[in-house]
Structure 1
Amino acid sequence: MTLDYLFVFAQAHEEFRIPELLSVAELYDIKITFPEDPAKADVSRPFMVLGLESEEDVKQLARRCILIKSVHEFWGRGKTYEDMFAMTRENRSRWDKYVADTSFKFRVEAYNHTIPQRRQREIMESFDWMDFLGEINMRNAEITLSVFEEYVDKHGTTRHKHEGDGDFVEVFFGRLLEEGSARKLIQTFDVKKRSYFGNTSMEAEISLLMANQTLASPGKLVYDPFVGTGSMAYTTAHFGAYVYGSDIDGRQMRGKDKTPGIMRAAAQYGVQQRIMDLCTFDVTRNPWRCGELFDAIITDPPYGVRAGAKRLGRKTPLTRPSQQYVANRQDDQPYIPPTRPYELSALASDLVLLARYMLKPGGRLVFFLPTVTDEYAELDLHTLLCEGMEVIANSLQDFGSWGRRLITIKKTTSEKYSPPTFDTTPVTAAPDTPAHIPAHKDFREKYFQGFKKDEPET
């Protein structure tokens, strides 16, 4: 039997909420009933009433989802307190068992507003019709009754602290089941407290969200092909997965100390035993000799703002044979192969092909894709996809003129594929059809040009 529960979300990364919720639900085989199509849910509001089959399922979600602040047994809601009281009376079967001898306390909170203490007391006293006979215990109550008022966002306006008090959009009421304990991990993995990090290290909250998108859990094997300083490796390993990392520049992984930087930070989090290995190689010249090794691939590809993507090769052709040059060198210094820029749209397409080859059936590819806000279209993602790969989540972190999208792609086929050749070429369009240029193509150049559009010729 499905019962309704009130979810209160942190007011951050709104578009990431439902994808994370669905991913964790899939991980623990939890069935969630939405009041409407999840794709149409209003994520600008921090409150959501969802149907689940058991309290244990609810608590499991609250202990793993980074964006859940708290979850409550749902008793009532309304545009006014009278409407909310009426619904609560209809749900008497859910709270009647606590009336006789259960100690309780109230918590009264508001979103986008601060309720004065005087009115908080008035709100608590307005529930006297429920006739709770247990003692009021503010420290060790057996149950906590939660009231939430939702107000219109008034940020950016000058007003008195309590102006508009009582003029709320909707009020919710229920019994607290579980605080969102997973949010404490944001402080645990805070980059500022980390023993090893770099200027491209991913912030902790995003790293944790990405780890949840991979369905990281004990026994799974996860790969980061652009591991850098290892931000996603630590969070993924924290959830029990074994992690393999690689990068074309080994200096980022190693640092300057004798113990590699990533391993030092992993030891700080107690997950060094789950970092299987770290190798230096170009992902387009990788050493993999068989596919379907990994349960997930998680990465933040370099897109050229703070560090540009590179691949082996020369920017310009050689004027003399490379083998003759190497053979005739007079010193004993090792040969360092040259690199050339790796354009983002080509990198992203190659990454999807690599994931199709390296992932087990049902495995996930989770990565960030930066895009120009005004130019983005859903068709951009279709330029990345190949047969057997399907987009299941697309969440935007908006920075104004540009943003980065957390893309989750699932391998939906069990067919075996040959290793990718990494000679990505654009799909040829019909003769009369202009080729679609995705918003992430040549992103680095657009970024440093301030995303200025080309002026039309006159």
Structure 2
Amino acid sequence: MGLQYLFVFAQAHEEFRIPELLSIAELHGFEVTFPPPPSDISRPFMVLELESEVHARILARRCILVKFVCEFYGRGKAYEELHEQTRNNREKWSQYTQDTSFKFFISAYNHTVPQKRMKDVVESFHYMDFQGKIDMNNPEIVLACFEEYRDKRGTTRHKHEGDGDFEEVFFGRLLEEGTARPLVKTFDVKKRAYYGNTSMEAEISLLMANQTLAAPGKLIYDPFIGTGSMAYTTAHFGALVFGSDIDGRQMRGKEKQPGIIRAAAQYGVAHRIIDLCTFDVTRNPWRCGELFDAIITDPPYGVRAGAKRLGRKARPDKAPRPKPAEPFSSKRPDDEPYIPPTMPYELSSLVVDLVLLARYLLRPRGRLVFFLPTVTDEYEELDIQTMLCEGMEVVANSLQNFGTWGRRLITIRKITSERYPPPTFTSAQDTPDDGKAHTPAHKDFREKYFQGFKKAEDEQFGETTET
């Protein structure tokens, strides 16, 4: 049986907590055990079993959603139950009672504990009989007590109303505050030297980086890098990053030095950006596979910028097109460089192609981490299975809910060492539909979004609206 530790989480992105813990544990080669009953991810407190205190500290220093980690002493619906458990765990804290300086830290979730009752709470632990000095500034240990109250948002009440009427109380020795959480402010998009209207928010970028197992010696690729939000966070954790995009303007910006490099220099990670290239991922230059430890990306799904691939749109009148000038001719009639035409890249086709590309480019056990928008009422677990291929498995599927729609952070792992040929990128929309295939909730997401997710006529779903 492992040692028990109390984890206190930031009350945000609840579904991302367990995948992040498991990812960092896998990165450092240890296991996390979730004791019964099953953990309620909606609550900010969770008691986990780990092999050692070192592992608890690793999670506190790397997990973005962790606020505090404590050596667990007791919990209860009332302080009487908490004190009984704490007494039974005397062997954990008795070593500190003689001459160790200490202080008590009292906090509450969804509530503010009045100063007077804080004193009463501290005095209720008199049986621990600490003989050391009370040091409020630099104690050797901190004893932490956390009360959990019901969510009272939307109600008008006095600041201390309902004080003491908590759901549960937890107690333990504070090991470490979550030192990774301040990175959310460090990578704040508004403070960035270069960003665009599709830049990913800092907290999500950091969570994605953790899902890739970013670390020194890892090589990570973003095939839709845009303004580089995920490149900075993965590089911060020590990984080397390669990025590409079909639109080079997103990467470059308007100044002489590429915008991504300028922003990376702001974070001190410019030397970890290996290169940036402009190409269509379906016409990529990769000539060998198993290059990357992870692929991380936020594919464009059309809300702010639609996905594109090289090609021409089908002409409804099927009229012959005028013969274009030679693309690589040294002379053109208008003396302008050739710009290849592009066509929309439907999301469900894109993600299937992305998984196939990942299987080709990832090393065994490598991870593909990307966001997938889905319509809430239409989503089924089968939607994720439709994009998988042989040799790939889903590791995590976490929802960021916006109401009628949400985006899912999907983590897929390569579980085979077999070598596969490069994908052909034959779009699903180019193959005949026999009416039997499952239609995932993310198909035609762009059209559904702009229609307000209302039921539309079948023929309208077949049309593509451009921005």
TM above 0.5, yes or no, is: yes
The counterpart of 1:204, out of the listed 187, 196, 202, is 202
Specify which of 137, 146, 149 is matched with residue 147 of structure 2.
Answer: 149
- Return the offset for 1:128: 1.1
Equivalents in 1 of 2:273, 2:8: separation in Å?
Answer: 34
Instruction: Please state if 1:31 is matched with 2:31.
Output: yes
What residue is the counterpart of 2:88 in the other structure? 90
Match of 2:176 in 1: 178
3-state DSSP of counterpart to 1:308: coil
Equivalent residue for 2:53? 55
Question: Given residue 128 of structure 1, which amino acid in structure 2 is its aligned partner?
Answer: H
Counterpart of 1:425 (choices 415, 423, 428) is 428
C-alpha displacement of 1:17: 0.3
State how far apart, in whole Å, the 2-side matches of 1:46 and 1:427 are: 47
1:112 matched to 2:114? The reply is no
Residues paired across the two proteins, number: 453
1:185-264 alignment, distance < 5 Å: 185-264=183-262
- Residues 223-274 of structure 1, C-alpha deviation per residue, up to 9 Å, x if partnerless? 0000000000000011111000000000000001110000001111111111
- CA offsets, 1:259-310, max 9 Å, x none? 0000001111111111000000000000001111000000000000011100
- The 2-side partners of 1:325 and 1:284 are apart by 19
Conserved 8 A contact 2:101-2:140: yes
Of residues 355, 358, 361 in structure 1, which corresponds to 2:361? Answer: 358
Change beyond 3 A, Cα 1:419–1:321: same
Q: What is the letter of the counterpart of residue 369 of structure 1?
A: L
**AA of the residue aligned to 1:115:** V
Q: Is the 8 A contact 2:22 2:31 kept in 1?
A: no
1:443-458 aligned at under 5 Å gives the runs: 443-454=445-456
The aligned residue for residue 8 of structure 2 is 8
Matches of 2:287 and 2:393, distance apart in 1: 25
Q: How far does residue 449 in structure 1 lie from its aligned partner after superposition?
A: 0.3
**What are the superposed Cα offsets for residues 351-374 of structure 1, whole Å, 9 maximum, x if unpaired?**
000000000011000000000001
- SS at structure 2 position matched to 1:374: coil
Q: Relative to structure 1, is the Cα distance of residues 264 and 135 closer, same or farther in structure 2, using a 3 angstrom cutoff?
A: same
Cross-structure match for 2:465 = none
Q: Which amino acid aligns with 2:274?
A: M
The superposition leaves residues 150-176 of structure 1 with CA deviations (integer Å, 9 ceiling, x where unpaired) of: 111111112221111111111100000
Shift of 1:32: 1.3
Residue of structure 2 in register with 1:322 after alignment: 324
Q: Using the TM superposition, give the Cα deviation of residue 323 of structure 1 relative to its aligned residue in structure 2, in angstroms.
A: 5.0
2:156 — aligned with what? 158
Equivalence for 2:406 = 403
Matched residue, 1:275 = 273
> 1:214 and 1:169, CA in 2 relative to 1: closer, same or farther beyond 3 A?
same
Instruction: State the 1:409 CA deviation.
Output: 0.1
AA aligned to 2:394 is V
Give the counterpart letter for 1:450 in structure 2: G
Taking the aligned partners of 1:454 and 1:256, their CA distance within structure 2 comes to 40
1:138 Cα deviation from its structure 2 partner: 0.7
Distance 2:398 2:36 in 1: 19
Q: Hey, what does 1:374 align to over in structure 2?
A: 377
The residue type paired with residue 453 of structure 2 is F
Post-superposition offset of 1:331: 2.2
User: Matches of 1:170 and 1:112 in 2, distance apart?
Assistant: 12
1:347 and 2:350 are equivalent in the alignment:
yes
Counterpart Cα distance in 2 of 1:370 and 1:93:
50
Task: Identify which range, 211-220 or 150-159, moves more after superposition.
Answer: 150-159
The correspondence for 1:79, drawn from 77, 80, 103, is 77
- Closer, same or farther: CA 427–279 of 1 in aligned 2, 3 Å: closer
Give me the whole-angstrom Cα distance separating, in 2, the residues matched to 1:427 and 1:312.
Answer: 14
Equivalent residue, structure 2, for 1:337: 340
CA distance in 1, matches of 2:437, 2:87: 61
- Partner Cα distance (2:157, 2:87) in 1: 36
- CA drift of 1:455 comes to 7.7
Segment of structure 1 superposing worse, 40-49 or 347-356: 40-49
Instruction: Give the whole-Å Cα distance in 2 for the aligned partners of 1:429 and 1:255.
Output: 40
Distance 2:430 2:154 in 1: 46
User: Hey, what's the Cα distance between the residues in 2 that align with 1:17 and 1:207?
Assistant: 14
Cα distance in 2 for residues equivalent to 1:386 and 1:199: 33
Cα distance in 1 for residues equivalent to 2:82 and 2:327: 82
Contact map agreement 2:325 2:332 (CA 8 A) in 1:
no
Q: CA deviation at 1:25?
A: 0.2
Q: Distance in 1 between matches of 2:364 and 2:430?
A: 25
CA–CA separation in structure 1 for the residues paired with 2:326 and 2:17: 57
Shift of residue 341, structure 1, vs aligned partner: 0.6
Q: Which runs of 5+ in 2 are unaligned?
A: 459-467
- 8 Å contact kept, 1:429–1:435: no
Aligned mates of 1:275, 1:324 — CA distance in 2: 35
Structure 2 residue aligned with 1:436? 438
**TM-score between both structures, scaled by the size of structure 2:** 0.94
Q: CA deviation at 1:324?
A: 6.3
Tell me the C-alpha RMSD between the 2 structures: 1.9
Asked if 2 retains the 8 angstrom alpha-carbon contact of 1:110 and 1:148, the reply is: yes
Distance 1:23 1:326 in 2: 47
Q: Secondary structure in 2 aligned to 1:163?
A: coil
Identity over aligned pairs, percent: 73
Question: 1:249 is aligned with what amino acid?
Answer: D
Partner of 2:170: helix, strand, or coil? strand
1: distance between equivalents of 2:194 and 2:432? 47
Determine the C-alpha separation between the residues in 2 that align with 1:237 and 1:36. 37
